[in-house]
Structure 1
């Protein structure tokens, strides 16, 4: 089961997936390629692991180019691991139920357009939430609105800053992304 991973940054979640694959924890899943929407260190991680990687610049036509690439590598499903661009158009229907996104909050809270990275953690703190975490969900035509696959929670501490909260959530993201990838690979492989 070929997996395409989409990234935008340093690729720590990608590294968690690479390490899980090496340890045999992705079931029938195999990372077949990595695409970034900008030059990113994540592509260095892919290269070091012998995984093909490329940049498809953010902007007009991005989703169509990614769809073409996904079909070329015969991707069974797509994982958005810190991918900052919003997918739209034909890829959403062509890969319906086969695109997963990792979001740094407990959706449906603190999701939607413009809610990523530090903005999410700051909003959680400003709202006085007692817990936060991460969500892996299926991608649909909305932004952070698809069905939830799994969530991992962390407490929000009285001393938390956006950075300290992000750090604790990031640890849970590495677990969640691997669990979701293995779940999707098993689910789709049995169809």
Structure 2
């Protein structure tokens, strides 16, 4: 069984897709052993509780302390959180990591120790509309502003860059002339749920 830690920051709908697949498929090759949130208010933590999955919060404040976190740079915060997540993943024996709406950038030893076993879901067709600051509605707003005729989502391997790893799965939708960020997201979201499961199954099978 491939044990997985899922990293979240918000509502956790993609986490729920992974939980639902695990519950509904007796031959599911993975088991979610841990959910880690970047914030204690994320509803994803409630989803983990309801599913009987252990969870923890790893934020700059919880890891570094309030004073140190307030003085630290973004890179220092990411490094500290990444180290804490690595320790937690090892504690639970995680074989892989899924970034399911996780808004921070992992860096340092965790990238090497879980090389080719960390995947991220991005709400656009990479390599377009990726990088720092490109998350959630910011992505959909940028897609609409650019005049693109299609968008979608991407699951990719995580490397030392930001949204730069090998692409595993992409799902596409047309961009309609009357789209808003909300309507575009609403059409992409169900495909995200499919893509994140497909991407994890690829990692479990060694197909990536």
1:92 aligns with 2:111: yes
Out of 73, 76, 81, the residue aligned to residue 62 of structure 1 is: 81
Aligned counterparts of 1:35 and 1:107: Cα–Cα separation in 2 = 25
What stretches of structure 1 move > 6 A for 4+ residues in a row?
A: none
Q: CA RMSD in A?
A: 1.2
Aligned counterparts of 1:53 and 1:72: Cα–Cα separation in 2 = 12
After TM superposition, the structure 1 = structure 2 runs for residues 81-120 of structure 1, keeping only pairs within 5 Å, are 81-120=100-139
Aligned counterparts of 1:186 and 1:10: Cα–Cα separation in 2 = 28
Can you give the 5+ residue segments of structure 1 that lack an aligned partner in the other structure?
none
Higher fraction of helix? 2
Give the structure 2 partner of residue 51 of structure 1: 53
Give the structure 2 partner of residue 5 of structure 1: 6
Tell me which moved more, 25-34 or 13-22: 25-34
Deviation at 1:165, TM superposition (A): 0.3
> Normalising to structure 2: TM-score of the pair?
0.88
User: Residue deviations 1:123-156, cap 9 Å, x none?
Assistant: 1000100000000000001000000001000110
1:128 aligns with 2:141: no
How many residues matched? Answer: 188
Rg larger in structure? 2
Q: Secondary structure at 2:5's aligned position in 1?
A: strand
Out of 94, 107, 122, the residue aligned to residue 75 of structure 1 is: 94
Tell me which moved more, 106-115 or 58-67: 58-67
The answer to whether the Cα contact below 8 Å between 2:21 and 2:28 also exists between their aligned partners in 1 is no
Aligned counterparts of 2:113 and 2:99: Cα–Cα separation in 1 = 16
Give the structure 2 partner of residue 28 of structure 1: 29
Out of 184, 190, 196, the residue aligned to residue 171 of structure 1 is: 190
User: Residue deviations 1:100-119, cap 9 Å, x none?
Assistant: 00000000000001100111
Deviation at 1:163, TM superposition (A): 0.6
> Normalising to structure 1: TM-score of the pair?
0.95
The answer to whether the Cα contact below 8 Å between 1:5 and 1:78 also exists between their aligned partners in 2 is yes
Aligned counterparts of 1:14 and 1:105: Cα–Cα separation in 2 = 18
